[in-house]
Structure 1
Amino acid sequence: MIRSHKKLSFVLGMFLAAGLASCSEPQASDNAQEKPAGTIESEKLNFTLDTLYSDFENPWGMTWLPDGRMLVTERKGEILIFKDDAFTGEKLTGVPEVHAVNQAGLLDIAIHPDYESNGWIYLAYAKDMNNGGVLTISRAKLDGNALVDLEELIVNMPEWQGGRHFGTRIVFDKDNYLYYANGDKGSRPENAQELNNSHGKIHRIHDDGRIPSDNPFVDVDGAVASIWTYGNRNPQGMIYDADNNRLWSVEHGPKGGDELNLIEKGKNYGWPEVTYGIDYDGTIITEDTEKEGMESPVSYWVPSIATCGMTLVTSDKYPNWKGNLLVAALAGQHISRVELDGTTYVGEEKLLNEIGRVRQVSQSPNGFIYAITEATGLMVKIIPQD
């Protein structure tokens, strides 16, 4: 099936708070009233921005424990502990050694949906192997501030030098299947079309690392059995919509052609056979943007905004954003609020323009939205005012 698509049109948001200058003046309101200092007026929701931390070094993933603590990974291999929106000054010990080269290192972190009964924390990271790196999904438990009982669940072969296009995000669905993304490793894009390697794919495993018997390629000779979809260039954002049992991802295009994709079992998302981008040196990768048997994106970005983490707004704290996707933009240095009608793209608004390279945006268990930035090293919290 080839999906319909449309080129994104951007609506500039405004960024006023946290000591950073606005890119434009606030829009006039029909119901003018005094607003808190630093209020940002977006299309559907006014909010302020609270800067919680400003000293990260390449932060990547974030998750919350049931006791209210937040864990944030840094790519170099550290996990910082926050409590009540403040850095405690503590970091987890027992973190596995990582292959921190280029885009590789300690990446995502997630807790099991049944964490309160089983205590499992999941990590995605590159580990050293034969002078290269290999994406590894592991789990461990907490003993105080120490990770213990570390188990490697799956190692995504073959190992690769250079550290490019490792992905990744970890999400669970309603049946506690674990999905994770693995990039194509950059130097060999055809990896994504070949089922005999783990790269350029989204994978599905049981929470203990076993391969589900209904995965689409378990009976294909030579295929990696954990593959759920293929033809995915470098997905760095993924979110599960529990209400509708849908899995969404965003992935980097080359020069242009970042994609928003609805991820469905066994489907081919086209890279590098179809793309809306060109190579970094300006050469044409392919003339094709559609091809029979390959999924077209729900929408795409030209030029690239360098999509990264994403979240689905379900919180009552942001009533006019409910059902929207928030997509972190590295090169764009903003958050894109994407409106959908079911699985159809409707429109988009740019929020927090020029805040810095946004690596991840997440909704906390108590319903607030947080974002972390890469080069500026920030953690911010969006506080609704309406």
Structure 2
Amino acid sequence: MKTPGLLYIAAIAVLCPACAGDGQQSDQQVTADRLITSEKASFRIDTLRTGLENPWGMVWLPDGRVLVTERKGEILALGNDPGKTEKLKGFPEVYERGQGGLMDIQLHPYYAKNGWIYVTYARPGKEGGSTTLARFRLTGNEIIDFEALYQTTPLSTSGVHFGSRIVFDEAGYLYFSTGERGIKANAQDLTNDMGKIHRLHDDGRIPSDNPFIDHPAAKPSIWSYGHRNIQGMAYDPVNRILYATEHGPRGGDELNIIEKGKNYGWPIITYGIDYSGAIISELTTKEGMEQPIHYWTPSIATCGLLYYTGNRYTDWQGNLFSGALAQTHIARIEVTNGIYKHEERLLAGIGRVRHIAQDTDGFITVLTEGPGILLKLVPAE
């Protein structure tokens, strides 16, 4: 699946305190066969596909095809032939507005038995659109058995902060994230679905042990709240930790460990300021609100998150990998016992990194927009 050609990547791959977050890059033109040496691994780039528009999520089918979501509402099925792209048929209309559209895609943990594929998308309605969790099955390239499992409310005509990522834990519970749709107060309001992480059974039912199940006014699907706009989630199955990255405004992008019923503070506490330069809050800490284990100021625009469990890069096992939309790189993050330890900047200047995932063979794959590329990191050895 390798496409010959040129990629623009940075000559330097290491993030140091002096250059952290400054957006300055020393880019040079290199071939796809160029050996890239980072702190703990050397690798080359294999370009699997070019010409994507606004890709958002990706997942691998057992037959070897990659399903890639495009924000405008298409799901592409990419096979081994780089010249062949098929589109799945039968996906419903999406609310394509600003950041809204078709977003994440994941397979059920027991996909081989039940065939369920899960997506989040902005679903249109009379009063705008809202982030919705759905699932479907495939017959060839035809979508069948489509079910909208959970539509968040209230609907809004806002074009910002839809979220959204999907993860499953080791017990089979499903988590999906929503943004606060640009209305800060939504994140602290338990009577609506916005600015939250939701926890469901795989068929959309509400688990009986969710933290606000007995709260008379709260949405019973809520697992955590006080979020601005989570576009990265990953699960560590060994230590049973749910990680999430969320966008701050100007500064204050966060890496959080998500725990049951916790309040993550937005907008009461924040390490960022508003885009106008106005102060959102004087507080960065408050009793009863969680602190991020790491934050970025200025913002890197975190998007997509991988917890690496494969064996292709032995020195990267257990590391987190976050995409950076604004600063166009991958942040490799070392965390020990829930404590942030170190960060390394990889592939600076590669493009707006929308998602990072682990394929069925344990390779790390990267999805970028501007340009729209699907690529794989191939270890030198």
Aligned-partner Cα distance in 1 for 2:85–2:255: 37
**Structure 1 CA distance for aligned equivalents of residues 10 and 361 of structure 2:** 30
Q: Counterpart amino acid of 2:10?
A: C
- Unpaired segments ≥5 residues, structure 2: 15-31
Aligned: 1:148 with 2:135: no
The one-character-per-residue Cα deviations of 1:339-367 (angstroms, maximum 9, x if unpaired) are: 11121101000001001100000001210
Report whether the alignment pairs 1:202 with 2:197: yes
- Decide whether aligned partners of structure 1 residues 145 and 369 sit closer, same or farther in structure 2, where only a CA change above 3 A counts: same
Give the 3 Å change call, closer, same or farther, for CA 299–87 of structure 1 in structure 2. farther
Q: Does 1:343 pair with 2:343?
A: no
Residue 11 (structure 2) aligned to one of 24, 28, 36: 24
Residue in 1 aligned with 2:247? 252
Alignment correspondent of 1:107: 103
Separation in 2 of the partners of 1:191 and 1:198? 8
Distance across 2 between alignment mates of 1:85 and 1:275? 47
Q: Distance in 2 between matches of 1:314 and 1:26?
A: 22
Superposed structure 1 runs of 4+ greater than 6 Å apart: none
User: For residue 70 of structure 1, what is the aligned residue in structure 2?
Assistant: 66
Q: Partners in 1 of 2:99 and 2:110 — Cα distance?
A: 31
Contact 1:18/1:50 (CA < 8 Å) preserved in 2? no
- Counterpart position of 1:368: 363
Gap change, CA 1:149 and 1:26, over 3 Å in 2: closer
Q: Normalised by the size of structure 1, how large is the TM-score? A: 0.91
Deviation digits for residues 155-179 of structure 1 (CA, Å, limit 9, x no counterpart): 1000011221000001111111110
Report the TM-score, using the length of structure 2 for normalisation: 0.92
Q: Aligned partners of 1:25 and 1:246: how far apart in 2?
A: 31
Q: Which residue of 1 aligns with 2:82?
A: 86
Give percent identity, aligned residues only. 54
Which amino acid counterpart does residue 130 of structure 1 have in structure 2? K
Per-residue CA shift, 1:43-79, capped at 9, x if unaligned?
A: 1100001111111110000011122211000000001
**1:314 and 2:301 correspond:** no
1:166 equivalenced with 2:153 (yes/no): no
Contact between 2:133 and 2:151, CA under 8 Å: does it hold in 1? yes
Equivalent AA in structure 2 for residue 369 of structure 1: I
Instruction: Output aligned runs, 1:214-225, within 5 Å.
Output: 214-225=209-220
1:323 pairs with one of 297, 318, 329: 318
What is the aligned residue count?
361
Compute the displacement of 1:85 (Å): 7.1
**Matched residues in 2 for 1:330 and 1:138: separation?**
26
C-alpha change, 1:87 and 1:65, in structure 2 (3 Å) is: farther
Cα distance change, pair 85–286 in 1 and its aligned pair in 2 (3 A): farther
Partner Cα separation in structure 2 for residue 310 and residue 376 of structure 1:
20
- 2:178 aligns with 182
CA RMSD of aligned residues (A): 1.5
CA contact (8 A) 1:317 1:367 kept: yes
Query: Which residue type is aligned with residue 376 of structure 1?
Result: P
Structure 1, unaligned runs of 5 or more: 1-16, 28-35
SS in 1 for 2:155: strand
2:234–2:305: 8 Å Cα contact kept in structure 1? yes
Kindly indicate whether the alpha-carbon contact (under 8 Å) linking 2:36 and 2:44 is maintained by their aligned counterparts in 1. yes
The 5 Å alignment of 1:228-267 reads: 228-267=223-262
- Tell whether the 8 Å contact from 2:120 to 2:133 is kept in structure 1 after alignment: yes
Report how far residue 18 of structure 1 moved.
5.5
> Partner residue of 1:9?
none
**1:157 alignment partner, SS class:** coil
